[in-house]
């Protein structure tokens, strides 16, 4: 019966059939673009790491009680801050209020007399347990971070006269451009006179949301048009379904037949959409073969799910009543 139904559609509704396949191809193509852009944005965010969500406040002020109190207030009001630290003038020294990067040996400072050294101090021959002088104070080396260009201490290790050049506030996720501007404005209010710099890549999330939203819109438009076309074809094929019904087919079988036919077109549209994306936008890559199968799998999944969502209301509307009664009512 499936073959007869497909042949009937090809013979009498060829143009509508092409439109359905085209809509599914567009939906599959847009889904591949959205996923491809999402993966690219995620990789860019991983490469940027902490800098992708790092807000800088250039204060150039002493490490006073007021500055410390205001920094603690920002910390208390923003649970999403994963790291907050200040940079001192002169020595490459960081003091973390919260968070900190990974280290290779030893431990982080536990008191005001300990220091976690970076690659430059390590190159000078300092090891865990040695003492060194920073900002006029003597510290004991408690850990080593060779990849860093700075040394780390606790805020308590800095006296009130230590000049602070910058405060850094790192979020645990990339903000949209609008949210980044709002948080930067809050920092400017918290630290009057400071020049606040937002992450250069705060627009990553905005671009990602735009890509996802565009893909959803294209798929939604395609699904709506597909629903109208499918309902129209079902209505035009009532006489065919009536013949099958007279030959002994039940309404459930007829609904399954129509659904199987739509899924066949969906599979064709998925293959065409995945192949078109691979050929047009992802040529000659080292992982091209693997990406082709991923793209085809995604395309087929999108088209099949969309077809099922379209088929359920259309089939219910068509086969809720007796096919013979429907034909009689249409004359």
At 91, is the pLDDT very low, low, confident or very high (cuts 50, 70, 90)?
Answer: low
- At 216-260, the pLDDT tens digits run 788 888 888 888 888 888 888 787 777 777 888 787 888 888 888
pLDDT at 215 over 80: no
SS (H, E, C) the chain: CHHHHHHHHHHHCHHHHHHHHHHHHHHHHHHHHHHHHHHHHHHHHHHHHHHHHEEEEEEEEECCHHHHHHHHHHHHHCCCEEEEEEEECCCCEEEEEECCCCCCEECCCCCCCEEEECHHHHHCCCCCCCEEEECCEEEEEEEECCCCCCEEECHHHCCCCCEEEEEEEEECCCCCHHHHHHHHHHHHHHCCCCEEECCCCCHHHHHHHHHHHHHHHHHHHHHHHHHHHHHHHHHHCHHHHHHHHHCCCCHHHHHHHHHHHHHHHHHHHHHHHHHHHHHHHCCCCCCHHHHHHHHHHHHHHHHHHHHHHHHHHHHHHHHCCCHHHHHHHCC
Q: How do the domains of the chain map onto residue ranges?
A: 2-46+205-329, 51-201
User: Mean per-residue pLDDT for 287-292?
Assistant: 52
pLDDT at 107 over 90: no
- At 25-65, the pLDDT tens digits run 888 888 877 777 666 655 555 444 555 678 889 999 999 98
- At 108-163, the pLDDT tens digits run 898 989 999 887 888 888 889 999 888 788 999 999 988 787 889 999 998 888 88
pLDDT at 284 over 50: no
Q: Can you tell me which residue has the tokens 């300092």? A: 126
pLDDT at 213 over 90: no
Could you give the percent of the chain with pLDDT greater than 90?
Answer: 11
- d(CA 251, CA 245) in angstroms, rounded, equals 7
- d(CA 299, CA 24) in angstroms, rounded, equals 9
């Amino acid at each position: 019966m499936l073959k007869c139904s497909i042949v009937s559609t090809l013979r009498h509704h060829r143009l509508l059939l092409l439109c359905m396949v085209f809509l599914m191809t567009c939906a599959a193509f847009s889904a591949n673009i959205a996923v491809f852009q999402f993966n690219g944005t995620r990789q860019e965010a991983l490469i940027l790491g902490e800098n992708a969500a790092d807000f800088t406040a250039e204060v150039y002020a002493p490490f006073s009680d007021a500055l410390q109190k205001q920094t603690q207030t920002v910390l208390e009001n923003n649970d999403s801050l994963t790291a907050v630290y200040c940079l001192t003038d002169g020595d490459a020294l960081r003091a973390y209020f919260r968070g900190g990067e990974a280290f290779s040996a030893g431990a982080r400072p536990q008191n005001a007399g300990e220091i976690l050294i970076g690659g430059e101090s390590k190159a000078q021959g300092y090891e865990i347990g040695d003492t060194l002088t920073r900002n006029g104070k003597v510290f004991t080396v408690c850990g080593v971070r060779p990849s860093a260009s700075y040394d780390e201490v606790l805020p308590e290790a800095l006296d009130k006269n230590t000049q602070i050049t910058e405060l850094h506030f790192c979020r645990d996720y990339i903000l949209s451009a609008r949210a980044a501007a709002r948080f930067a404005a809050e920092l400017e209010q918290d630290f009057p006179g400071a020049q606040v710099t937002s992450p250069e890549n705060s627009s990553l999330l905005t671009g990602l949301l735009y890509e996802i939203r565009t893909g959803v819109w294209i798929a939604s438009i395609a699904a709506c048009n597909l629903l109208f076309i499918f309902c129209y074809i079902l209505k035009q094929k009532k006489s065919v379904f009536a013949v099958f019904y007279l030959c002994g087919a039940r309404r459930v079988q007829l609904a399954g037949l129509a659904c199987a036919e739509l899924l066949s077109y969906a599979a064709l549209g998925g293959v065409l959409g995945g192949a078109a994306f691979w050929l047009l936008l992802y040529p000659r890559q080292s992982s091209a073969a693997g990406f082709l199968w991923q793209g085809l799998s995604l395309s087929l999944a999108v088209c099949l799910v969309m077809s099922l969502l379209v088929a359920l209301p259309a089939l219910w509307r068509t086969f809720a009543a007796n096919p013979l009664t429907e034909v009689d009512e249409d004359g």
